[in-house]
């Protein structure tokens, strides 16, 4: 969806890239005046610290905790499900209990569900209302997951959006969009790629990308071979 | 999920239901594009605090049963470009659902 060198989210790309063609530079996040929500956040944060409800150390620690969560944890769960059919059955039936077996505690966070991709059905997750996401297993969501373009387009034309991600599904495969509107967070269990018989759990986990667990990618064994 | 009172579970898996097309002021977890649309109860997700009360520091009681509703894409978007058996699912609280005769 995006070039590596610059972001084209703000304009269509039907023009030629001739010499002297200049793109506007990408804005810094802190460029321009603060939005009303940024002002509100800063005011509330300062008040909470001033009144002793929170300390800035606690806020930093929470940010560090959020940053420490990465899709690697979700990938471990997927790989376990691929090698252990009994675990997979438990994961699909009761994700909270199955994760506890791997010492992953959902605790008081929103409840999780695991949805399995099959030969017949490909699943993809969105939160049209905001940006609900299984952060415990996947970390901070990518910017596109929170973008208005993804949130509005994937429900209307999921196959078109998936094609932009490089996922081309046969007509015979049903596409099922899951809008996480409420108290549940969805993890997609992708299909295990062909040609991975005998692979270790660690090798398999290396194939499982963040996008595969959102449903906007399909794991491939070639990816691993190409990387080695 | 606790021992709080729960609204009576009005629907079962497989029931045809319609999302109410009413307006809601303030916080609400029912997307606009699903209001007035009909679907099938795909599963029952449990009982949760009512987000429309919880958002305003109310206890969010009685708990609301949350249903996963499966909609046909062609019922949501008349010009849906994909096959006719593609679906969309969303979690909808009990008090936003009406039975379809």
Strand B87-93, strand B64-72: pairing: antiparallel
Q: Which of A14-23, A25-34, A186-195, B28-37 has the least mean pLDDT?
A: A14-23
What pLDDT does A20 receive?
62
Instruction: Please report the pLDDT score of residue A110 as a whole number.
Output: 86
Domain boundaries, chain A: 36-67, 69-227
- Please determine, for residue B64, whether its predicted confidence score (pLDDT) is greater than 50: yes
Q: For the residues B72-100, what does the mean pLDDT come to? A: 96
pLDDT, chain A, mean? 89
Distance from B16 to chain A by nearest Cα, in Å? Answer: 18
Chain A residue closest in CA terms to B85 = A174
Is the CB of residue B51 less than 8 Å away from at least one CB of chain A? Answer: yes
Closest chain A residue by Cα to residue B72: A176
Residue contact A111–B30, C-beta within 8 A: no
Name which residue leads in pLDDT, A83 or A223: A83
Tell me whether strands A184-189 and A111-116 are parallel, antiparallel or unpaired: parallel
- CATH superfamily of the A69-227 domain: Nitrile hydratase alpha /Thiocyanate hydrolase gamma (3.90.330.10)
Structure confidence at residue A18 (pLDDT): 56
Phi/psi of residue B70, nearest 5 degrees: -105, 120
Q: Which of A199, A184, A194, A196 is nearest to A115 (CA)?
A: A184
User: Which of B2, B77, B86 to probe by mutation at the A interface, max A CB count within 10 Å?
Assistant: B86
Helix (H) or strand (E) segment spanning residue B44: strand B38-48
Tokens of A23: 């793109």
Residues of chain B with Cβ-Cβ distance to A176 below 8 Å are: 86-89
Q: What fold is seen in the domain B16-99? A: SH3 type barrels. (2.30.30)
Query: Do the Cβ atoms of B89 and A111 come within 8 Å?
Result: no
Which tens digit of pLDDT belongs to each residue from A62-86? 999 999 999 999 999 999 999 999 9
* In chain B, where the domains are located: 16-99
């Amino acid at each position: 969806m995006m070039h590596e060198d610059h972001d084209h989210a703000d304009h269509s790309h039907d023009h030629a890239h001739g010499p002297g063609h200049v793109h506007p530079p990408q804005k810094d996040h802190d460029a321009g005046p603060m939005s009303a929500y940024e002002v509100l956040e800063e005011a509330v944060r300062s008040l909470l610290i001033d009144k002793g409800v929170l300390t800035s150390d606690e806020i930093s620690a929470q940010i560090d905790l959020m940053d420490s969560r990465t899709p690697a944890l979700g990938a471990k769960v997927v790989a376990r499900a691929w090698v252990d059919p009994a675990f997979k059955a438990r994961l699909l039936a009761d994700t909270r209990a199955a994760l506890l077996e791997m010492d992953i505690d959902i605790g008081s966070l929103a409840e999780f569900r695991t949805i399995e991709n099959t030969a017949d059905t490909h699943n993809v997750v969105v939160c049209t209302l905001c940006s609900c996401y299984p952060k415990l297993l996947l970390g901070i969501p990518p910017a596109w997951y929170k973008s208005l373009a993804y949130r509005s387009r994937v429900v209307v034309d999921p196959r078109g959006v998936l094609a932009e991600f490089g996922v081309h599904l046969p007509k015979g495969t049903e596409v099922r969009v899951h809008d996480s509107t409420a108290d549940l967070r969805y993890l997609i269990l992708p299909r295990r790629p062909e040609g991975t018989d005998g692979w270790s759990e660690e090798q398999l986990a290396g194939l499982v990308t963040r996008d595969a667990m959102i449903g906007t990618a399909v794991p491939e064994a070639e990816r691993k071979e190409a990387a080695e | 999920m606790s021992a709080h009172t729960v609204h009576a579970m009005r629907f079962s898996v497989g029931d045809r239901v319609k999302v109410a097309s009413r307006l809601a002021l303030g916080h609400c977890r029912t997307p606009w594009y699903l209001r007035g649309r009909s679907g099938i109860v795909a599963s029952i997700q449990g009982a949760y605090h009512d987000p429309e009360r919880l958002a305003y520091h109310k206890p969010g009681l009685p708990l609301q049963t949350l249903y996963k509703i499966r909609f046909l894409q062609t019922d949501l978007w008349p010009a849906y470009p994909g096959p006719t058996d593609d679906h969309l699912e969303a979690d909808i609280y009990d008090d936003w659902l009406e039975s379809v005769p």
